């Protein structure tokens, strides 16, 4: 058990607290992640390690491990599932890096960032195959089914997102469908598969799935809000990626809906015609801010975090349950 | 049973003969292929169907179905595996279409062919996930293992191939390792998984795997030889893709090895420096031809076809066994 001080300290970042509660499981998952990145083909570990070691919080595999432990799991298969979940996530990031030449031609993206299109695709495929191997090793066909379904849903979500780029007719419903698929599906499957491998009851498994789903939605909403945050920019964090890629996220949908004629013209030029000039990001941030679009996005995230926490209501008291609740709170609060 | 006439007619194309012998199984696999291409996201079936219906011979799923039937299989899971194998193949083709901007910048590839980089990646991912779902439905963890391993090997092979492009130091050993991984691994796994789902003996399963492996090697060698075939060009078939992409295949390795100074200079400019001009493909074909490089490639393919056929030696007489032998012969003969 941790000392009271350590717990108070850790609660400043609840993700670290949760890491501490499943530390030995995460160490096992990390060993698998590093072992399975190995390949006789040098480019593969080089490129993959760059991403896998890039300081991500391993939030998704954490959900798998936490769900399994919360149900008293004492086996080792959960670490394989956690490693597989991280590999699926990393493969998705690599494939997200692939850029269309049409984007390049519009002069928005430096050529060097897209020189490695093909490497990103192939190393992503390798990681996806490695994930598949790890899941097969875990040996539970029902879990395989959950993760296979999540993979198909993620790919559909990415295609939906691609089609919504440059398109100001994208609705709130379209947007929510996209983030449910491209982000929340893996959060939900990660938590659900941890519950399943631990032979959780149907009610426990459904609760963990619901927690993962709503946490994923809240997480993506906040991510999309932060991309238009002037405060983030002041903190030296990179913002404006979605704007530059002309993605139509909730802040843009709301800001466009409430825009006057001049602002509507601005959004049509920068998003639909994809003609962006110096200073446009600053104007976009101002429009998003003054229409209350960031506030609305944060409020929706808050409501999903509440639903995530509500999913855990009937679970017995447990450090991991407390930490999961704190993680859901933290995911929303990081926006302020 | 077929009439003697029909068999003689079919033997003109042994792949059609083999199709006829597993016609109802292939119809079931085709139904699955079309059903699983469905998606609420319109781009997915549009793009995927374009490839899946493009008149390919479905050689890989045919191996799965043939191996299962040859061992007297009477279930339905083999059709799921066959559809999965075709989806993996199609996903690989889609990801092969992704082009690096570095390639585009050298002016060798028309911009329009690469506008859809991102769509190719994401629809490929969708098909890969669908393959995964189908394999899970087939429900045999050992088979899942074989196909998961094949997927990882294919991805490694594609990365190896990427690294050998523009590199005249690529050896015969490097080349054989690449084609064993990127092509023969799926042929081998397709045949092996059909044998396994039919509860084949270890000897039968090993024989089918060996047949698939050697057939895959022979198939790729002939493909690479045909890409430098003047006769193919006369028949109106597209050639020169490998040359334009500066892939270092066996015909190039042999031709470079036997080249005089002027020819060495030619290969360095066109492959290593990737500076290709009008008329270079014609010169490349002439160099490949006069050094006997095509002949050597064909001879190696012949030897692998013989090894594929030898793998079937101990199997009892069966129409499917005969048809598989004829397919191996045909794969080599199509080159002449």
Cα–Cα dist A263/A284, whole Å: 9
> Shortest Cα distance from B195 to chain A (angstroms)?
19
- pLDDT single digits (tens) A24-39: 999 999 999 999 988 7
A122/B129 Cβ within 8 A: no
Give the predicted TM-score (pTM) of the model.
0.91
| pLDDT confidence bin for B245, thresholds 50/70/90 | confident
Report whether pLDDT(A47) > 90: no
What number is the average pLDDT over the span B85-108?
Answer: 75
> Shortest Cα distance from A10 to chain B (angstroms)?
38
- Output the pLDDT for position B113: 55
Q: Which of B41, B115, B130 sits opposite A102 (nearest CB)?
A: B115
Q: Which residue out of B38, B152, B154, B193 would a mutagenesis test of the A interface target, given it has the greatest number of A Cβ atoms within 10 Å?
A: B152
> Shortest Cα distance from A329 to chain B (angstroms)?
33
| pLDDT confidence bin for B1, thresholds 50/70/90 | very low
Cα A208–Cα A226–Cα A86 angle in degrees, nearest 5: 40
Contacts of residue A333, defined as CB under 8 A and 6 or more positions apart, other chains included, come to: none
Report whether pLDDT(B108) > 90: no
A132/B114 Cβ within 8 A: no
Contacts of residue B285, defined as CB under 8 A and 6 or more positions apart, other chains included, come to: B228, B229, B230, B233, B239
- Output the pLDDT for position B49: 74
What number is the average pLDDT over the span B101-105?
Answer: 55
Residue with tokens 């926006």: A335
Report whether pLDDT(A5) > 60: no
CA atoms within 13 A on the CB side of B223: 12
More confident residue, A119 or A113: A119
| pLDDT confidence bin for A107, thresholds 50/70/90 | very low
Long-range pairs for A101-107: beta carbons < 8 A, 24 or more residues apart: A101/B99, A101/B101, A101/B104, A101/B111, A101/B114, A101/B115, A101/B117, A102/B115, A103/A245, A104/B101, A105/B111, A106/A274, A106/A275
- Output the pLDDT for position A254: 97
Q: Do B38 and B100 meet the contact criterion of CB atoms below 8 Å apart?
A: no
A121/B156 Cβ within 8 A: no
Report whether pLDDT(A336) > 70: no
More confident residue, B41 or B275: B275
Cα A37–Cα A38–Cα A42 angle in degrees, nearest 5: 105
- pLDDT single digits (tens) A267-304: 999 999 999 999 999 999 999 999 999 999 999 999 99
Contacts of residue B260, defined as CB under 8 A and 6 or more positions apart, other chains included, come to: none
More confident residue, A231 or A94: A94
What number is the average pLDDT over the span A5-25?
Answer: 79
Q: Which of B100, B133, B162 sits opposite A115 (nearest CB)?
A: B100
Report whether pLDDT(B27) > 90: yes
- pLDDT single digits (tens) B256-305: 999 999 999 999 999 999 999 999 999 999 999 999 999 999 999 999 99
Report whether pLDDT(B315) > 90: yes
Contacts of B162 in chain A (CB under 8 A): 43, 118-119, 122
Burial A101-111 (b: 16+ CB within 10 A, else e): bbbbeeeebee
Contacts of A162 in chain B (CB under 8 A): 43, 118-119, 122
| pLDDT confidence bin for A104, thresholds 50/70/90 | low
What number is the average pLDDT over the span A70-78?
Answer: 97
- pLDDT single digits (tens) B220-241: 999 999 999 877 777 777 789 8
What number is the average pLDDT over the span A252-275?
Answer: 96
- Output the pLDDT for position B2: 47
Fold of B4-333: Farnesyl Diphosphate Synthase (1.10.600)
3-state secondary structure of B274: coil
| pLDDT confidence bin for B46, thresholds 50/70/90 | confident
Contacts of residue A66, defined as CB under 8 A and 6 or more positions apart, other chains included, come to: A18, A21, A22, A191, A194, A320, A323, A324
The DSSP 8-state label assigned to residue B112 in this structure reads: G
Q: Which residue out of A46, A93, A95, A117 would a mutagenesis test of the B interface target, given it has the greatest number of B Cβ atoms within 10 Å?
A: A117
Report whether pLDDT(A111) > 50: no
Contacts of residue A170, defined as CB under 8 A and 6 or more positions apart, other chains included, come to: A164, A248, A253
Distances (CA, A) of B91 to A213, A234, B48, B83, B153: 28, 43, 9, 12, 15
Q: Which residue out of B97, B120, B132 would a mutagenesis test of the A interface target, given it has the greatest number of A Cβ atoms within 10 Å?
A: B132
Distances (CA, A) of A335 to A180, A281, A297, B20: 20, 19, 10, 63
| pLDDT confidence bin for A136, thresholds 50/70/90 | very high
A141/B95 Cβ within 8 A: no
- Output the pLDDT for position A101: 59
More confident residue, A159 or B111: A159
- Output the pLDDT for position B115: 54
Report whether pLDDT(A66) > 80: yes
> Shortest Cα distance from A148 to chain B (angstroms)?
5
- Two tokens at B275? 């500076």
A105/B39 Cβ within 8 A: no
Q: How deeply is B40 buried, as exposed, middle or buried, from its count of CB atoms within 10 A (0-12, 13-18, 19+)?
A: exposed
Report whether pLDDT(A3) > 50: no
Contacts of residue B254, defined as CB under 8 A and 6 or more positions apart, other chains included, come to: B288, B291, B292, B293, B296, B297
Mean per-residue pLDDT of chain B: 89
Instruction: Report the range out of B95-99, B108-112, B183-187 with the highest average pLDDT.
Output: B183-187
Nearest alpha carbon to residue B118 among B101, B136, B139: B101
Cα–Cα dist A142/A313, whole Å: 26
């Amino acid at each position: 058990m941790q000392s009271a001080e350590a717990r108070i300290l850790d609660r400043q970042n609840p993700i670290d607290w949760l890491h501490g509660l499943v530390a030995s499981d995460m160490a096992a998952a990390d060993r698998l992640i590093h072992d399975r990145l190995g390949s006789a083909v040098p480019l593969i570990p080089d490129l993959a390690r760059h991403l896998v070691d890039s300081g991500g919080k391993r939030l998704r595999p954490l959900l798998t491990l936490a769900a399994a432990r919360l149900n008293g799991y004492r086996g080792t298969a959960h670490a394989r599932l956690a490693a597989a979940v991280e590999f699926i996530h990393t493969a998705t990031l690599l494939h997200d890096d692939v850029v269309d030449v049409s984007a390049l031609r519009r002069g928005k993206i430096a050529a060097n960032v897209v020189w490695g299109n093909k490497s990103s695709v192939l190393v992503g495929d390798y990681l996806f195959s490695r994930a598949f191997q790890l899941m097969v090793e875990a040996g539970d066909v029902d879990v395989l089914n959950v993760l296979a379904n999540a993979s198909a849903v993620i790919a559909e979500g990415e295609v939906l997102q691609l089609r919504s780029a440059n398109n100001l007719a994208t609705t709130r419903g379209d947007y929510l469908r996209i983030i449910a698929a491209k982000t929340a599906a893996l959060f939900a499957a990660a938590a659900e598969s941890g519950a399943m491998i631990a032979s959780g009851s149907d009610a426990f498994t459904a609760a963990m799935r619901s927690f993962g789903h709503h946490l994923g939605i809240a997480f993506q909403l906040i991510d999309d809000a932060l991309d238009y945050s002037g405060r983030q920019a002041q903190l030296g964090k990179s913002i404006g990626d979605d704007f530059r890629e002309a993605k139509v996220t909730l802040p843009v949908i709301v800001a466009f809906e409430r825009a006057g004629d001049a602002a509507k013209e601005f959004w049509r030029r920068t998003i639909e015609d994809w003609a962006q000039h110096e200073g446009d990001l600053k104007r976009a941030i101002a429009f998003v801010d003054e229409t209350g679009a960031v506030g609305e996005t944060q409020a929706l995230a808050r409501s999903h975090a509440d639903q995530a926490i509500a999913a855990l209501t009937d679970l017995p008291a447990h450090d991991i349950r407390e930490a999961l609740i704190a993680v859901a709170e933290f995911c929303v609060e990081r926006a302020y």
